[in-house]
Amino acid sequence: MLVLVAPGQGAQTPGFLTPWLELPGAAERVAGWSDAIGLDLVHYGTKADEDEIRDTAVAQPLLVAAGLLSASALGAPTAFGAVAGHSVGEITAAAYAGVLGEDDALSFVRTRGLAMAEAAAVTETGMAAVLGGDQEVVVAHLDKLGLTPANINGAGQIVAAGTAEQIAALVADKPEGAMKVVALKVAGAFHTHHMAPAVATLAEAAKALTPADPALKYVSNRDGLVVESGADVVARLVGQVANPVRWDLCMQTFSELGVTGIVELSPGGTLTGLAKRALKGVPNVALKTPDDLDKAAKLIAELTA
């Protein structure tokens, strides 16, 4: 079974959208999305610097727009048996699965980004990836420092979130057995109690949505479960901003479903990197530029022949 995955915040890099806008109709499509949500996605995806696209209110819509563009260019939606997204990538996944229309997905993620940016501005917070080490030992160390294991990604990676002071303490005192601690390019302690104010905002925005049930297996990063109700998907999207991401459980579900290949939407690389270590032997393709579409098409053809 082929699985399609969508990356989360931190995957963006300056100018990464540029080659995707060269595809037929892509620039016009993104310009329309930009007008609809009041954010110049073309500028931020092509000319903005690292600091500009680190802004949560910018990064999140930009990532979903890139995911939707690359998904459309990929085609062959019936080839995939399951879909999942990491953090904000869940909105991309929801759109691909038919739970949300593209316009609703962009509008919702715009609200999400603004609400989370506002919540992040209350206290200086951040996130850092802990690479290596025993999971129980790492989590206990984070707890000692007052940090939250916001992303348990599997493959020996746990992302900690908390105040700037707590992150600095972690960098200075990494858990026993961990290889290193890497600060992430995000502007907030996402998926922690620091994001609680954003939940109410998203709950209100969700009232305007009319979700459909997923057209393929939708794997939730709250707990790795396959969610069959569109209303449940949206409820999880609302609450997930303040709850940890369990990508390790998503990959466990992929394995249980019999995953035979993985394709990661733009800007790809992060989730396929985790899969290479946690799902060894499963072929994968990361869509970084349109040049990768042929490799994805080849993989799809080989696995669906």
Residues with catalytic roles: 87, 191
Q: What is the pLDDT of residues 16-55, one digit of tens each?
A: 999 999 999 999 999 999 999 999 999 999 999 999 999 9
- Clarify whether residues 162 and 289 are in a common domain: no
Q: What is the pLDDT of residues 211-221, one digit of tens each?
A: 999 999 999 99
- Clarify whether residues 294 and 202 are in a common domain: yes
- Clarify whether residues 285 and 244 are in a common domain: yes
Closest CA to 93 of 276, 248, 291, 263: 263
What's the predicted TM-score (pTM) here? 0.94
- Clarify whether residues 259 and 217 are in a common domain: yes
The pLDDT of residue 76 is 61
Structure tokens given for 16: 């990464």
Mean pLDDT of 59-72: 97
CATH number at residue 66: 3.40.366.10
pLDDT at 101 over 80: yes
Which residue among 139, 162, 183 closes a domain? 183
Percent of the chain residues past pLDDT 90, beyond the cut: 94
179 is in which domain, residue-wise? 125-183
pLDDT grade for 75, boundaries at 50, 70 and 90: confident
- Clarify whether residues 72 and 108 are in a common domain: yes
Which residue among 183, 205, 220 closes a domain? 183
Domain count across the chain: 2
The pLDDT of residue 183 is 86
- Clarify whether residues 66 and 176 are in a common domain: no
- Clarify whether residues 208 and 245 are in a common domain: yes
CATH number at residue 137: 3.30.70.250
Place of tokens 């007052």: 146
pLDDT grade for 239, boundaries at 50, 70 and 90: very high
Cα 289 to Cα 265: distance, rounded to the nearest angstrom: 10
- Clarify whether residues 85 and 226 are in a common domain: yes
Structure tokens given for 258: 């019999």
The pLDDT of residue 77 is 64
- Clarify whether residues 17 and 160 are in a common domain: no
- Clarify whether residues 10 and 115 are in a common domain: yes
- Clarify whether residues 104 and 130 are in a common domain: no
- Clarify whether residues 85 and 202 are in a common domain: yes
